[in-house]
Amino acid sequence: MMAETAACPFLAATLTLDGFGAYRAGRALGSPLDLRLMPGTVLGVVGPNGVGKSSLLGALAQAGVRSYGRARFGAQDLARVPARARAGIVSMLAQDLHAPEELRVRELVAVGAHASGNQDPLSEAERALSDVGIAELAHQRFGSLSGGQMQLTQIARVLAQRTPVVILDEPTSALDLFHQRVVEQTMRRLGNDGRIVIAALHDLSLALNACTQILLLDRAGDAHSGKPADVLRPDLVHAAYGVRTTIHTTPRGRRFLATE
């Protein structure tokens, strides 16, 4: 891990949002955000359907979503960084898992490594596939996979890009319990490596355990940010979702959120 950090100068930079937000259908979504995400931050973006979580992530990644305000990585304004250079800074898993069906899984994952200039993209692809537990799928065609396998393949593509900022839009939505835990562990590992991870999540228990910070968006356009237990407290969750909840801790220290 130390060698990887030394090899990538971006890992020491901070992601700063100054009055930042996304547009959808010609209108601004929610309140402007002012956030400072240090290296190692795993930020869970949560909130009910329709509040703009995916739009916010797309705007951050400059993935076809209009934005306002500024998002800076170190001294660089991400909106002004050329697309090829930005691919070495930010990688994104979108909800749309579409890819050419005839591509082999290993080849598709290698696209991520190639995007950020890796000199051995196929080897990097194999490493990423192993990290998410699907190395045995390397030579299968993408079109032959199940929905969950497609999602894991696209997560591997993001990992192979090896960027200091990793954006994941609902990374566990199609996954079984085992692979949900793999993704949770991967998010924490990326944070431990000094990367900044931003993930839109519906599973609030996953957010409690995987994230170091939470951004809660509600239908009124308000945003609450802070440590998981401070933001996912019953009053704020009820105001956002209309559901009463309590946080419990297992004997092993794992937290989960239960509805009443």
- Domain of 202? 2-89+163-226
pLDDT of residue 24: 86
pLDDT of residue 11: 60
3-state DSSP assignment of residue 77: strand
Does the structure show a pLDDT above 70 at 110? yes
pLDDT of residue 25: 83
- Domain-located, residue 205: yes
- Domain-located, residue 208: yes
pLDDT of residue 9: 45
Q: Which pLDDT band holds residue 6 (cuts at 50, 70, 90)?
A: very low
What is the distance in angstroms between the CA of the first residue and the CA of the last residue of the chain?
A: 42
Q: Which pLDDT band holds residue 69 (cuts at 50, 70, 90)?
A: very high
CATH number at residue 20: 3.40.50.300
247: β partners = 257
pLDDT of residue 30: 85
- Domain-located, residue 84: yes
Q: Please write the tens of the pLDDT for every residue from 33-54.
A: 999 999 999 999 999 999 999 9
Spell 46-56 as b/e; 16+ CB within 10 A means b.
bbeeebbbbbb
Does the structure show a pLDDT above 80 at 104? yes
Does the structure show a pLDDT above 50 at 200? yes
- Domain-located, residue 235: no
**Taking the model in full, what pTM does it have?**
0.93
Q: Please give the C-alpha separations between residue 90 and each of 26, 84, 150, 259, in angstroms, as whole numbers.
A: 25, 10, 21, 35
- Domain-located, residue 233: no
**Separation CA 257–CA 249 (nearest Å):** 9
- Domain-located, residue 234: no
Q: What DSSP element (H or E) covers 208?
A: helix 204-210
- Domain-located, residue 25: yes
Q: What DSSP element (H or E) covers 199?
A: strand 196-200
Q: What DSSP element (H or E) covers 246?
A: strand 245-249
**Considering the chain, what percentage of its residues have pLDDT values greater than 90?**
86
The domain total for the chain is 1
Q: Which pLDDT band holds residue 231 (cuts at 50, 70, 90)?
A: very high
What's the sign of the alpha-carbon dihedral 127, 128, 132, 137? negative
- Domain-located, residue 251: no
